[in-house]
Amino acid sequence: MFWAVLIVRVLVGLPFLVFGLNHFVPFLTMPSPQFPENALKFLGAIGSTPYMDVVKILEVVGGALILSGRFVPLGLVMVTPVAVNIALFDLFLVGQPGLGVALAILCFVLVVAYRSHFAGVFAFKPQCGSSRLS
């Protein structure tokens, strides 16, 4: 199980770290794919703001945490929403599954592997401090 989780951690953390860093220090030449019109409008809207800078910072920090093996649950909290949004972009705006779908699935595999650290998130009746919520 250790090796399987390690492999999935690398498969999740490395793309986020590399592509996140590539946003700030371009070292990879990325081909520009042909997107449908709605996808181009969406990219144009978020590309004209600092939104992508924040997303890429989350990717770099989260990917580094996942790769390092330190604070993996925190790294997952940072990158899983990004992976889900990439998957939704691929499915609903591009119209075909892409890397985002694979990353989202792998993130959920890691959430299951680290489920003991997320037990409070999935609590049916959570408690706030010392009092029970109704």
Rounded Cα gap, residues 73 and 88, in angstroms: 22
- pLDDT single digits (tens) 107-132: 999 999 999 999 888 888 887 775 55
Q: How many helices (H) and strands (E) does the chain have?
A: 5, 2
Query: What's the rounded mean pLDDT across residues 51-63?
Result: 97
Query: Percent of the chain, pLDDT > 90?
Result: 81
For 3-26, the DSSP string reads HHHHHHHHHHHHHHHHHHHHHHS-
Rounded Cα gap, residues 16 and 80, in angstroms: 10
Query: What's the rounded mean pLDDT across residues 62-86?
Result: 97
Query: What's the rounded mean pLDDT across residues 89-96?
Result: 95
Q: Give the pLDDT score at 130.
A: 59
Q: Is the pTM of this model over 0.75?
A: yes
